[in-house]
Each structure stands twice: as structure tokens, then as C-alpha cells.
Structure 1
Amino acid sequence: MKRLLVVFFLAFGTLAGCATARTYGDQEFEKGNYNAALTRYEQAFAEGEKDWRAYHNAAKASLATADFSKAERYYAQAIRLGADIEVARELAAFYVKTSNYVSAVQMYQYLLNYEKDPRPVYTNLGAALMYAGKPLEGESFLLMAQQLDPVAKVPYLNLGILYDQHLRQPQHSLGFYKCFLTYATDEDPNRVKVDQRIRELAAKYPSAANRTIECGKPYSPDLETKSVNLKAEMEKVEKEYELFEGQAKSEESKEVVIEKMVEEDSPEKEKGTSEADRRYLIGDYEEATRIYMDQQVSKLTPLQVRRLAIGLSRLQKHAEAEMWITMALGQEETPELVRAALVSLKAIEKQDKVDELCQKFKDRAEYKEALEPCNGP
């Protein structure tokens, strides 16, 4: 009997330890103590934790501490354990942010199996292929996205970039750029750059300016051929990129513009982060954030990640700023960063995160002004 009790307590202690590690990990994660959270989660994983939510939190904590290889590993494991579709979207966005377009192709191909609306995935898959050095394969998916929704602005923009920067067909790029302007709002951050690029292309290639594309209608120079090509490209991509196993719940997808607008043969890509730092310090946040985001994320210092987050917030690109804010807060907290975080998180209605930051810094005198958004509407 005594031996049975010993065995029982040992077994109970093991289970309790596993549960405690996970619980403590969740608590540290909610507090924003990402390094401590990772320590607890890794202990839980070693003890057999199989809940995808724990791996998802570990991935986000790794991202916040700029440990990108670990973030990728935990995201992938969460998906293998049956994570919902939002986790796959986050991993795809992570690959885009870190310029890992080959892996982004893999994830968007995976998402095609589960999304209710395939059009945004076609757009993102096409753009990822384009930027991964496979523009012809990307063309088929981008054209399909345009055909499925001829009034959506993003496929027009990505097709314009494709024919401008990759396939060097100015007559096509001009037409798609013009259609983008037809549907883009006046506040769209790409509008000015696209308008400028149209003028440059029209001046350089006068004959191309005469070519028009009928905006608002499905476009294809050869619809039947393109439909066949799409099927062939789908099969090619499926063979080339190994997909994750697992299941996901279908929800509405989000569409992103993967590639930045740049001038033809522009030297801007060669600008280093020192130029971005200079631009940031003189208040040119548009240029500073653009240059920062053209760099490999792993090459940005914690200060530059923080400046990128603050710059995006000041440009009111709040949804885009969220990932960088999370990453910057995991590296080094400052009053300026916390204020930017509060402004952006309130704008995208992440009230739980706003409350968490307000509570965390409420007793620190140096954060008094930074916490002013806590009291606002």
C-alpha cells in the first residue's frame, strides 16, 4: 500500500508539474514577460505538452524576443497539432516580413486548402512566387485573383509591379497601375508612388501609354490558356513545396501587398539602415519605415525595430505596426514606444492589450505622459 501511494504521488506530481509549467507560461505571456514565458513553455514541451495554443504563444513570445528561428519552429508545430487558420496566416505573414518568400509560398498553398474565399490567397501566393524569383508562375495566380474580383485594388497593384519590375512589360504595367488608381482611395499610401511611376513609364515608353486595360472586368489576353496554365501551375507548386499536415478551420482571409513600390533600377534597395536612421531622426517616417522594411529583419537592431514600430504608428499604419510593436516591446520598453503601442492598439481595437499596458506601467512615474491614451476615448 505504501508503495502504491508513492507511485501515485510521483505520477500526480509529474502531471501537476506539467500543468504548472504551462499555466506559468501563460501567465508570464499575458504579462508580456516573454523570456520567462518561453522558459516555462519549453519546460512544458519537454514534459509532453501537446496543446497547439501553447506552441502558438511560444511562437509569438519568440517573435517578440527576435528569436526568429524558434518562432518559425513553434508556429510550424502549432499547425501540425491542429491550430486554427489564423495561426497559418500569422506564419505566412511572418515569412513575408522576414523576406522568406519560398516558405511564404508553402504557407499560402496550405491556406488554399482551407480558406473560404480563395481570391486573397491567390493574390498573396502570386506575389510570393513573384518575389521568390518565379514571376511567370506568380502571373497565373495574380490574374486569377483579378478575374475573381475585378474591382479589388490589390491584384491590380501587384500585377502592375509584376509587369513593371519583373517581366519588363511596360504596356501591361501601365494599364494595371491605372486600374489600381481607379479603385484606390485618396488616402492609400501607394497612390502617390503609383501615379509617379505611371508618369515615368509613359515618358520612357510613349507607345506603351496607348495600351489600355478595361478596369472592373476580368482580364485575360487568353482566358482559356490562362485557366489551363493556372491548373498546371497549381500542380507545379504542390509538387515543389512540401505542405504542412493537419487541419484548420476556415475563416475569412486577409490580403496583403507583398512587394514595395520602387522605381525601375532604383538604388533605394542599396540604402542601408543608416539612411533609415537619418530619415527617422528628421521626421521622415514614410521613407524611414520603408527602408527599414526593405531590410532583412534579423539585421535590424532593437533600436531600429523600435523606430520602425513607432514610425508606423505615427503614420497611422496601425495594423501594420502591431507586429513590430510586439517585437519591440519584447526587446526593450521605453515611454515613447509604449505611447505608440497604446495609440495603435486602440486604433485597431485591441482593448485587452491596451488595458494590459496601462496596468503594467501605471505606477512608473516616467511613463505618466506615455499613458495618456489610457484615459482618452
Structure 2
Amino acid sequence: MTHSNHNTLARTGKHLSHSERAQIAILKNQNYSNRQIAHALGRVPQTIHSEIHRGTITQLNRQKQSGKVYDYYTTYYDPDAGQAAYDRLRLNCGRRPKWADTDAFIEWADDKLLLEKWSPDVVVGFARTHDLFDPSIIPCTTTLYGWIDKGIMRTTNMDLLEKLSRKPKDSSYRSRKNKRILGQSIEQRPAEINDRQTFGHWEIDTVVGNKGKTDSVLLTLVERQTRFEIILKLTGKDKESVDQAISQLRQRAGDRFSTIFKTITSDNGSEFAGLHEALQETLDVYFSHPYASWERGTSENQHKFIRRFIPKGKAISQFSETQCLRIQQWMNDYPRKILGYQTPHVCFANALRSLSQMT
């Protein structure tokens, strides 16, 4: 048997396969040297030498002759033994996964993901920021997603509602003329508001349930800098209900209303037709362009959190005001990456404290 005209190319960094090990056994039986086998297989001699060393076994042979028993040993390369040695070494190679050292982080992370509906990134960021575990057992966000995909955790992809609902951005937007003019355009909004440099600038919107005319809706207000959320349950999606809710909010805030609320940005829905008139003496109201929800991106992102508790199509009238307050509290106590894994509640309180010290 000859391999003088082989066309096998050297495969640097590739491990030997079981078929190559079988070829090594055949060539050894034909008294090929290790270097000749390496040349035939397109491997470096050291690879073949190491493989034969690991795969060589010693066999006991017993022979009877003239009433006596003679034992003698022979050695030969066995491809199955070589493969078994390779598989055994592979089990011990590579870095140990972090979850193999302790399940403390995984248990805590599962509770946050399943019970408190945190996202994987918030789980990782909060654990690192607050030094809850030894850094060596805290994975990165990508790794944590990988653990979920591989079934290492109790959490599954079905539990990650935002991951399942994400859609690619639509780049087909074309500017449309705003037929309804309710007040100042968002184009007139100062840069310091757009850049979130100052506190007290809010976005207002509504969240609907099953789109029934008789169903309740949620009126949401979010402070752009701190992401602090206010949720008010309305009897309907109309101008009168919104005006009444704003009036009640002013009464609750009292003298601090003008300090907390400096501007409000809204869309051009008919339910907000009275905002400018009702608030023009107290604050500025800006209205976004039609079909441009990203101009109120903070509000849109906040709605994703609400949808974890109130899915689309489910009647909001089924949820009590107490339940809505619980959702509001959960959102304000939820650590945010953009806030350095602090909660909106803490950031809002710090902002108010800073304003009080300035006055």
C-alpha cells in the first residue's frame, strides 16, 4: 500500500478524526514510520507521534507449551483507544463555565427574570453595579442569553417577552404633512430638552387594551431624564377624560406642579386637543409629527414594560386602579442600564432634591 501520490493538504490546528486514526493503525501494521505516516496524512510528525503514544495499548498473551504456561506482552496502536483518549482529554480542556462553580447567581437571576420580569441585561448590570456576587461568577449579557438558549436556567426564551416581540426598524418612513395642528411643533423644542440635559420635561401618551369604544385606557406620563412614570386610568380615550386627569394631577402636585412639569410632548391624537389650552399659562406643550412615534421614544419604550402586564387585546377595564399603581411602582423600581442601573424612583428623588437645594 502506498500513499506517495496522496493529495491530502496539511490541516493546521485541526484535530485527528476517527477515520484518520484507522489509517494510522493500517500504516503502522505495514511498518510505516511515524514520519512517513505524517507525510501520508498531511500532518506534522509530532501530531502522529503524540497520537500513537496515547493510543498504544499493551496486550497480555498467554501460551501453553509442554504443560507450561508462558505469558508475554505485545504493544500496538489501537484507533479506538486513541479516540477514547482524545475524548477524555477534551472533557478537561477549555475554561470551566461560570455556572459550573456555583448556582448562586443563576438562582438569583432566575428569580429576577421570572418573578420580577427583569431583562437579562438588567440582571447582569445590577449584580455588577451593586457587587452582589463575586465578579468571577457573573456572566456578560450575551453569555446569560446563551445560558437561557441552552436550557441551563429555568428561564426560557418564552419568558423574555421583549425578545419575542422585537421587530426590525422600518426605514420606509416618509414625512407626512400634519393636518391637525394642536400647538407648537416638536421642531421648536429646545436642544436641552432633546438632549435630556435638564429635569422636568415629560412625554404623554395613551395605552389602549382591546380597542373597544367602551373600554378604559391608560394615560401615561414619563419624565425624559429620569424615566419616572405616572400611570392614570381613564374611563375613555377622549379629550374630556384627559383634561380631567390633568386637572387632578395638578391638584395632587399643588405648588410643585410648575417645578416638576416644565414641558410636555404629545402626539396629535384628538384626546390631547385640550392640552395646549389647559396648560399654556403654566408650561410649554409640544406636538410631534404624525406617524413619527420615535420622536416620543421614551414613552414608546415605557409602553413595552406596561405590555408585560397588560398585553395588547386585553381589556384595561379588567385592571383596577390598584393594579395600575403596582405596575407604575414596578416600572419606577426597575433598574435601568441607561441610568447606570439605578431606578427611575431614585433618580427622580435626586432630581427633586437638587431642585430644592437650588431654591
Same-fold call, TM > 0.5? no
Which structure has greater strand proportion?
2
What is the TM-score with the length of structure 1 in the denominator? 0.25
Whichever structure has more helix as a proportion of its residues is: 1
Larger radius of gyration: 2
